[in-house]
Structure formats: structure tokens, C-alpha cells
Amino acid sequence: MTVPLALPALAARPVLRHLETFGDVPKSVRTLMESGVTRLLDSDMIITQPQQVPDAVTTGEAASSSIHAAGAEMAETILPQIEAEGLADHFKPLMRSFVRILFGLFLSPEQCERACACIDAGNHFSFLASDAGGPSLSSWRSVAHAEQGGIRLTVDKVWGIEAHREGMAIVAARGPVSFFPAAYVVWPEAYRTLRRTPHGDPFLEGRLQLGNVKGVVSLTRDERVKSGGPAVFNKYLTTVRPFFVRGLMAHVGWLGARDRVALDEGDARVHAFLSEAARVQSRAGRYDVDNVHRVLAIKFASNEFLNDLVRKGAVARFGDQRDLLAFTKMEGSSYHCYHALRNSTKSQ
Ligand SMILES: Cc1cc2nc3c(=O)[nH]c(=O)nc-3n(C[C@H](O)[C@H](O)[C@H](O)COP(=O)(O)OP(=O)(O)OC[C@H]3O[C@@H](n4cnc5c(N)ncnc54)[C@H](O)[C@@H]3O)c2cc1C
């Protein structure tokens, strides 16, 4: 007779079933996932929590395509440097490799050439998704309207990496189709005219400053990003998240070797499991439903690991605590990842 699973174990299935595809999941990872999801459950999730193990969705779209490889190669060369020297000095190069991936997915060949020349000339690049209106697209304050011969883009974005600096940006805004955000390229001449302010104290020993951006710019119709289709944001995040988690795990290893993080035996197993799962996933090179879910599970697990280290006092310095918690939000918070994974199961 099979013993019925307790609620925390059932609630963790949408995450664990994807982590299990990477091999034996250590007990410390299971425990962490169960306590993580139980803490996150909102009212709707508790009300609708089934008592059986949920089935996988069988009707998901089977979109599948290869990912852009140039940026991935760049990221591979940076990761050993993070292992040896920590993330602070290598965060921006890692982000630049992500920018190459993003250009490959979002931009036409002509736009891509112009954008690469632009950042090679020393301009900063910002990807501005987080909106001053909050997480729901319907309340976003960044909106695009058609105007004679072009587009009038109202920008009100928060928390962009180095977004206060001179440079260019891809801005997500509410566009003509309301279910998905649309993306717009804002070249340096237009970006310069927006009000840009640093926001909060920097992270990573002063190397990472967030900024807010506000104002209105006129764009041509060509500056609306058309490549990649509506799934382009998801495609980008699915591609870069495993590299990001590898970078985070390399950084935790580096902090551990300097007694800035104390990893016990269980933590060491979580660290080894996640490092390997993220490494395997970063080489999958495919974008399809299974890979999207595996990546969400890895980012969720990484968030919960970092959060747990800080919560139990394993991270000695305030600056490291703040950095690690911030990285649990960047490129996918636990709530966001878990919400999407639950929706990928049938019995909601
Ligand atoms: C270091 C750093 C770099 C960043 N870089 C960028 C960047 O370059 N560009 C950019 O656009 N953004 C950037 N961000 C912002 C980042 O993308 C967001 O923080 C991220 O999307 C998570 O959103 P959130 O902080 O609102 O938290 P979330 O936890 O995702 O919350 C989202 C919403 O869900 C609700 N919620 C959360 N938990 C629960 C729960 N248990 N039950 C019910 N509701 C819940 C919250 O109230 C909130 O309304 C960065 C952030 C950091 C910290």
C-alpha cells in the first residue's frame, strides 16, 4: 500500500518532478523544496491543492527551437572566472553574454548589427521589464500608442541594471495586443532624453547599481521588436536562467571557500546538485515546454537555497545576505516560478 503524501510533499511535486529528471534528488533538496513551497502557498493554491499527485499537462504547445549559441559560448568562458574570483568583478561580463543572447532572439539581423556596434562602442544596455505599475500587465504604466507615422512610447520602468547610465534599452510595454508585453528598442539618442535615476544602494560591493527610467519617446514602427513572436521574453529567460544559476552557485562556492558562507553537509549536497543540474540544462540548447519547466524548477530551487542560507544565519555579512536575496528575485522569483509550475499541472 502506498502511503499518501503529506501536503508539503504534494505541493512540491510540480517542482520536484522536473528536478528528478537530473538524477537522484538528495534529501536536503527535497526538504528545502517542501518547506519553500509550503511557505509560498497563497489562498488559491491552498484551496485548490489536490490530494493526489498532479498529472503533467499533456496539451502544452510543442514549440521547439534551437537557442542562440554565441552568447552561451561567452557565458561558458566567464563561469570559471566567477568560481575563481567571485561574482562581483564578473557580473557585468556575464550580463553582456546574456545581452548577446537577447539580441539574437529579439532583434532583426540589421538591428542586431547596429546594437552590437552600439555596445562595442562602450554604451550600456538595459533590459527594462519591471514596471512602476506593478507585476500585472494591465496596470503597467509603460504603454505604446500609435501616432502619425510612428509610436509614442511612455516609459516608467524600475529596477533596471545600470539603467540610469547612458546607453540603449529594450523596453517591455503594453502594446496593441494586451495578453503579452511588446518590446521596443530605444537607441542611445532617444534613451538620453529619458529621466534616469539610480535606485537604492548598489549590490556586489558597489559593482551593480539599479536604476529607474521615466519619460516619453517617439519611435519609428521598425523599433517595435517583431522577431521571436510573443514567446520571446520566455525564450530569453529560459535560455539565460541556467547560466545565471551556474554563476550563483559558483559565487556561493567562492564565498564558502572564504568563510563568508558556512555550508553544512546538506547544503553542500544542494549546492552540488544544483550546480550540476544547471550545467546540464544550460547545454540543452532547446526551447520547448519541458525545458521551460525544468528551468523554472532550477531557478526556484536556487532561490530557495539562497533564501535558506540567509534565513538560518549561514551568511556572515550583511552585504552578502542582501546580494543573495536580491538574486532570488532577479530573472525569476520563487513565487513567479512556482506559480508557473503549478499551472503546468492538470489538477489545479
Ligand atoms: C539585483 C536585481 C536586478 C534586477 N534587474 C532587473 C533588470 O535588469 N530589468 C528589470 O526589468 N527588472 C530587474 N529586476 C527586477 C526583478 O526582475 C523583479 O524583482 C522580479 O521580477 C521579481 O518581482 P518582485 O520583486 O515584484 O517579486 P515577486 O516575488 O515575483 O512578486 C510579484 C508579485 O507577486 C506577489 N507575491 C509574491 N509572493 C506571494 C505569495 N506568496 N502570495 C501571494 N502573492 C505573492 C507580490 O506581492 C507581487 O505583487 C532586478 C531585481 C534585482 C533584485
Please give the full DSSP string across 61-128, using - where no structure is assigned.
----EEPPHHHHHHHHHHHHHHHHH-SGGGHHHHHHHHHHHHHHHHS-HHHHHHHHHHHHTT-EEEEE
Residue 37 has pLDDT above 60, yes or no: yes
Look at ligand 1, atom 2, and give the residue with the nearest C-alpha. Answer: 330
- Which of 182, 198, 223 terminates a domain? The answer is 223
pLDDT level of residue 331 (50, 70, 90 thresholds): very high
Look at residue 63 in the predicted model and tell me its pLDDT: 53
Least reliable range by pLDDT among 157-161, 251-255, 344-348: 344-348
d(CA 232, CA 283): 19
Look at residue 106 in the predicted model and tell me its pLDDT: 83
Task: Give me ligand 1 centre to Cα 255, in Å.
Answer: 25
What is the tally of helices (H) and strands (E) in the chain? 13, 9
The answer as to whether 255 is a domain residue is yes
- Which of 166, 200, 223 terminates a domain? The answer is 223
Closest approach atom of ligand 1 to CA 134: 49
Burial 265-285 (b: 16+ CB within 10 A, else e): eebebbbebbbebbbebbebe
CB of 45 shorter than 6 A to ligand 1? no
d(CA 48, CA 70): 43
Mutate to test the pocket of ligand 1, among 127, 170, 335 (most ligand atoms within 8 A of CB): 335
**Rounded percentage of the chain residues whose pLDDT exceeds 70:** 93
The answer as to whether 72 is a domain residue is no
Considering the entire predicted model, what is its pTM? 0.94
- Judgement on whether residues 300 and 329 belong to the same structural domain of the protein: yes
d(CA 188, CA 19): 42
Closest approach atom of ligand 1 to CA 203: 1
CATH value at residue 123: 2.40.110.10
Residue 62 has pLDDT above 70, yes or no: no
- Which of 172, 202, 223 terminates a domain? The answer is 223
CB of 21 shorter than 6 A to ligand 1? no
- Judgement on whether residues 242 and 330 belong to the same structural domain of the protein: yes
- Judgement on whether residues 113 and 206 belong to the same structural domain of the protein: yes
The SS3 of residue 183 is strand
CB of 125 shorter than 6 A to ligand 1? no
> Measured between alpha carbons, how far is residue 208 from residues 85, 164, 326 in Å?
16, 12, 11
- Judgement on whether residues 250 and 336 belong to the same structural domain of the protein: yes
Look at residue 54 in the predicted model and tell me its pLDDT: 72
pLDDT level of residue 64 (50, 70, 90 thresholds): low
- What single DSSP character describes residue 179? S
Least reliable range by pLDDT among 66-70, 254-258, 284-288: 66-70
d(CA 260, CA 324): 12
Residue 120 has pLDDT above 90, yes or no: no
- Judgement on whether residues 127 and 175 belong to the same structural domain of the protein: yes
- Judgement on whether residues 117 and 212 belong to the same structural domain of the protein: yes
Check if the beta carbon of residue 241 is closer than 8 Å to that of residue 332.
yes
Task: Give me ligand 1 centre to Cα 5, in Å.
Answer: 31
The SS3 of residue 204 is helix
CB of 129 shorter than 6 A to ligand 1? yes
What's the mean pLDDT when you consider all of the chain?
Answer: 91
- Judgement on whether residues 247 and 154 belong to the same structural domain of the protein: no
Structural domain total, the chain? 2
Average the pLDDT over 260-288 and give the result.
95
CB of 44 shorter than 6 A to ligand 1? no
pLDDT level of residue 348 (50, 70, 90 thresholds): very low
Closest approach atom of ligand 1 to CA 172: 11
Average the pLDDT over 82-99 and give the result.
96
The answer as to whether 78 is a domain residue is no
Closest approach atom of ligand 1 to CA 40: 41
d(CA 80, CA 90): 10
The answer as to whether 2 is a domain residue is no
CB of 207 shorter than 6 A to ligand 1? no
- Judgement on whether residues 214 and 280 belong to the same structural domain of the protein: no
d(CA 164, CA 161): 8
- Judgement on whether residues 217 and 277 belong to the same structural domain of the protein: no
The answer as to whether 121 is a domain residue is yes
- Judgement on whether residues 48 and 132 belong to the same structural domain of the protein: no
Task: Give me ligand 1 centre to Cα 329, in Å.
Answer: 5
Mutate to test the pocket of ligand 1, among 37, 329, 338, 339 (most ligand atoms within 8 A of CB): 329
Strands (E), the chain: 65-66, 124-128, 143-147, 150-161, 167-173, 182-186, 195-203, 208-220, 286-287
Average the pLDDT over 308-329 and give the result.
98
CB of 326 shorter than 6 A to ligand 1? yes
Q: Which residues contact 264 (CB under 8 A, 6 or more apart)?
A: 314
Tell me the pLDDT tens digit for each residue of 91-109.
999 999 999 888 888 888 8
Look at residue 55 in the predicted model and tell me its pLDDT: 66
Range of the domain at 303: 7-67+231-343
Tell me the pLDDT tens digit for each residue of 174-197.
986 667 788 999 999 999 999 999
The answer as to whether 264 is a domain residue is yes
What's the longest Cα–Cα distance across the chain? 70
- Judgement on whether residues 241 and 285 belong to the same structural domain of the protein: yes
Least reliable range by pLDDT among 65-74, 80-89, 189-198: 65-74
Average the pLDDT over 201-222 and give the result.
97
pLDDT level of residue 347 (50, 70, 90 thresholds): very low
Closest approach atom of ligand 1 to CA 163: 8
- Judgement on whether residues 117 and 50 belong to the same structural domain of the protein: no
The answer as to whether 57 is a domain residue is yes
Task: Give me ligand 1 centre to Cα 330, in Å.
Answer: 7
CB of 329 shorter than 6 A to ligand 1? yes
